[in-house]
């Protein structure tokens, strides 16, 4: 695989040239800092740009065109991560060497039209499509409110991280959706084209120079922007005593989420040590949380831990009967203390290192995973695959213990449902 990058000032292009795939994957990202009052608007905009265009004003026309392009995949979604909001346009299509000459240009022309030729008349999107998309966004918001695990996560983050972007729902709000007008969304579309930082990733067996020339000619974005500087979320307030919040709901099962803030992470701890820690504590069926709380004592139906290093947060999630709430929390605290005191083996560390090492090879089999690795390398200075293989083997038990001492219990949240069993 060969890597090429081009700074075209209004946007940057990164090409991962490889003959490993029969398909070509293209990702165009429009990124800015997350703002709570823009999330709903961005979701509606994504729905509009991804569903119709000026030349294909009905969704069935879009579907028919995709079939003509050898069932190429096209999507537009809004991704919120580590304080950044990204509208991501994605296409995966069969390389024209397996179809016919000219298919790459025809496919990319259709793809670009989703961005540059929206279904707009007189300064607003097609009215019927606007209401259709708005209704879909409303259903997604309502569905998220009915998902009890997601609801428990959201409430925990709202309480624990109220002054950060972690407290925002990625689905938006019904209040913002209700007052959103068609004209407002169109003006926001223009604002995105003018102000968002834009990067393009291409992965496949392509001619990098031709790809560069194509986008320079057809992606008519003229505004030059400074590269975004990644700023991880850092917590200044570390609680000395955890707080407990219980909220009741009509449901058979209770959902427990325990939130931790992580203090002063180094890049190496963030990218490597934190993963080893989380796997040993609660990442799989061999972890401490699962073996002790789930299997030995049967205090929960499910339990797992996840470290979000970019956000300096760890969450432990469990589905429980409410009668087991106190015991489950006691054991979570106990097992976290065991990690900080080194009550695990060097072999535990090595087991995960080997698992992670071999999983890195699987990235080469998925073009969008490759794009994700390179985008993280460019924007967040994370390591590439070979560097990851080398660095993960440097993790030691002592490093994991040191990391464990930086993990501070902040908030215990229970979304309480069900009846206590006799």
pLDDT digits (tens, 9 = 90+) for 127-168: 999 999 999 999 999 999 999 999 999 999 999 998 889 999
The residue with greater pLDDT, 117 or 223, is: 117
Quick one: which of 3, 1, 12 has its CA closest to 212?
Answer: 12
Contacts of 51 (CB under 8 A, 6+ apart): 59, 62, 129, 132, 133
CB atoms within 10 A of CB 48: 26
> How far is Cα 84 from Cα 248, in angstroms, rounded to an integer?
33
Averaged pLDDT, 66-92: 94
Contacts of 269 (CB under 8 A, 6+ apart): 309, 399, 403, 406
Under DSSP, the state recorded for 228 is: P
pLDDT digits (tens, 9 = 90+) for 203-219: 999 999 999 999 999 99
The residue with greater pLDDT, 87 or 233, is: 87
Whether the CB-CB separation of 174 and 44 falls below 8 Å is answered with no
Averaged pLDDT, 394-418: 95
Give the pTM: 0.93
> How far is Cα 227 from Cα 11, in angstroms, rounded to an integer?
9
Mean pLDDT of the chain: 94
Please give the domain boundaries of the chain with CATH numbers for all domains.
2-218 (3.30.830.10), 243-416 (3.30.830.10)
Averaged pLDDT, 225-239: 78
Task: Give the chain's count of helices (H) and strands (E).
Answer: 16, 13
Check whether 236 has a pLDDT greater than 50.
yes
Question: Largest Cα–Cα distance of the chain, in whole Å?
Answer: 71
pLDDT digits (tens, 9 = 90+) for 265-322: 999 999 999 999 999 999 888 899 999 999 999 999 999 999 998 899 999 999 999 9
Q: What is the pLDDT of residue 209?
A: 97
Q: What is the pLDDT of residue 16?
A: 98
- pLDDT band for position 418 (cuts 50, 70, 90): confident
Check whether 420 has a pLDDT greater than 60.
no
> How far is Cα 282 from Cα 258, in angstroms, rounded to an integer?
13
pLDDT digits (tens, 9 = 90+) for 17-38: 999 999 999 999 999 999 999 9
Check whether 226 has a pLDDT greater than 80.
no
> How far is Cα 77 from Cα 244, in angstroms, rounded to an integer?
35
Structure tokens at 47: 């729905």
The three-class DSSP label of residue 24 is strand
**Alpha-helical segments (H) within 30-147:** 39-51, 59-68, 103-116, 127-146
- Number of residues assigned to the chain: 422
Q: What is the pLDDT of residue 231?
A: 75
Q: What is the pLDDT of residue 223?
A: 87
Q: What is the pLDDT of residue 419?
A: 59
Whether the CB-CB separation of 328 and 383 falls below 8 Å is answered with no
Cα distances (angstroms) measured from residue 369 to each of 128, 234, 275, 362, 385: 36, 27, 18, 9, 11
- pLDDT band for position 421 (cuts 50, 70, 90): very low
Q: What is the pLDDT of residue 422?
A: 34
Whether the CB-CB separation of 374 and 3 falls below 8 Å is answered with yes
């Amino acid at each position: 695989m060969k890597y090429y990058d081009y700074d075209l000032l209004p946007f940057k292009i990164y090409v991962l040239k490889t003959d490993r795939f029969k398909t070509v994957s293209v990702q165009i990202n429009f990124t800015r800092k997350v703002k709570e009052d823009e999330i709903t608007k961005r979701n509606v905009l994504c729905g509009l740009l991804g569903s119709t265009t000026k030349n294909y004003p009905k969704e069935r026309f879009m579907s028919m065109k995709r079939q003509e392009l050898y069932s190429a995949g096209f999507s537009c979604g809004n991704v919120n991560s580590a304080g950044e909001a990204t509208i991501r346009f994605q296409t995966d299509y069969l390389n024209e060497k397996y179809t016919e000459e000219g298919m790459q240009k025809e496919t990319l022309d259709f793809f670009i039209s989703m961005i540059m030729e929206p279904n707009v008349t007189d300064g607003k999107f097609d009215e019927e499509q606007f209401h259709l998309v708005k209704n879909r966004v409303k259903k997604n918001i309502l569905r998220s409110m009915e998902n009890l695990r997601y609801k428990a996560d959201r409430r925990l983050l709202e309480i624990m991280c109220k002054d950060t972007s972690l407290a925002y729902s990625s689905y938006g709000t019904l209040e913002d959706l209700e007052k959103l007008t068609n004209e407002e969304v169109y003006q926001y579309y223009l604002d995105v084209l003018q102000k968002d930082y834009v990067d393009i990733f291409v992965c496949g067996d392509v001619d990098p120079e031709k790809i560069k020339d194509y986008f320079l000619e057809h992606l008519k974005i003229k505004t030059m922007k400074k590269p975004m500087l990644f700023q991880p979320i850092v917590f200044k307030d570390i609680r000395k005593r955890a707080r407990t919040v219980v909220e009741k709901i009509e449901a058979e099962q209770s959902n427990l989420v325990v939130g931790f803030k992580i203090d002063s992470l180094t890049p190496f701890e963030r990218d490597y040590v934190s993963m080893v820690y989380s796997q040993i504590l609660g990442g799989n069926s061999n972890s401490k949380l699962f073996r002790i709380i789930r299997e030995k004592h049967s205090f929960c139906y499910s339990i797992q831990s996840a470290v979000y290093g970019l956000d300096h947060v760890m969450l432990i999630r469990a589905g429980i009967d409410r009668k087991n709430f106190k015991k489950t929390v006691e054991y979570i605290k106990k097992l976290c203390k065991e990690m900080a005191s080194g009550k695990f083996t060097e072999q535990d560390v090595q087991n995960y290192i080997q698992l992670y090492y071999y999983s890195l090879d699987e990235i080469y089999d998925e073009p969008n995973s490759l794009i994700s690795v390179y985008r993280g390398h460019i924007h967040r200075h994370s390591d590439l695959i070979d560097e990851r293989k080398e660095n993960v083997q440097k993790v030691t038990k002592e490093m994991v213990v040191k990391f464990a001492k930086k993990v501070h219990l902040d908030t215990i949240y229970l979304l309480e449902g069900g009846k206590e069993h006799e």
